[in-house]
Amino acid sequence: MTLVTESTEYAFEDFVRDETLSDDKITKLQHPIYLPEYFKIADGFKPGDIFTLTAGGMDYPFEIAGFYKCGLLAEGGIGRKCVISDYDYMLLTSIYPESELLIFDKSESFDYREYSEKCAEKSGNNFSKACSYRNVDDSKIIETTETEMYLYISIFFSAVTFAAVFFLIAHKIKKDTTTPSSTNRDLRNIDIHDVTLNSGSASART
């Protein structure tokens, strides 16, 4: 999960809020947090619910102030981006490692390796180890891969369920056709010695 402050989120995107508590209620929250809409759609969270972060064996409850339209860093691979207050961010930096993100629009001819080498030359640090590169195409690939994995898993379990049901039905049919019923067994055990007709009906004596 990625945690940012409101000022950082405004630097990334427009921070478009959606379905929030009233301003009066938000100001009364001790530890407000804005979640991407994913948590509302997939997990059923609502404004005012408690959202708990766990780190270092400790639970840190936040009150959901609302949701926002998250575009950048919205995929599950790196952890979805949540917006917290400056105060909570300061507290959590002692628990979570803090990272610096350099985000910009690139041209088609942009070379990540060349860029990192120039930064390393200027700074004297191993810039390539400290940075990870990802663009819009990379994010689309990540999301597509996750969706495909979910579909493959769903298809696999559907196939297993179908095979199990088919096996049970086939086994039941085979058992019913090979095992004589109790009525048939009783009839075979009857030794009919004489049959007489009386007023159109048949009677048997054993």
In order of their start, the domains of the chain are 2-92 (2.40.40)
Give the SS3 label for residue 202: strand
User: The tokens of 197 are what?
Assistant: 């007709």
Q: What is the pLDDT of residues 95-137, one digit of tens each?
A: 777 777 666 666 777 777 788 788 888 877 776 666 666 666 6
Q: What is the pLDDT of residues 49-91, one digit of tens each?
A: 999 988 778 888 999 999 998 877 666 555 688 899 999 998 8
Report the alpha-carbon distance of residue 33 to residue 143 in Å, rounded.
Answer: 24
Threshold 0.85, pTM exceeds: no
List strand residue ranges (DSSP E) for the chain, in order: 2-5, 17-20, 32-36, 50-55, 58-68, 81-84, 194-198, 201-205
Of 201, 202, 183, 204, residue with least CA distance to 193: 204
Phi, psi (deg, nearest 5) at residue 2: -105, 130
Predicted local confidence at residue 151, as pLDDT: 81
DSSP state string for 10-34: HHHS---EEEE--HHHHHT-SSEEE
Contact 32, 85 (CB under 8 A): yes
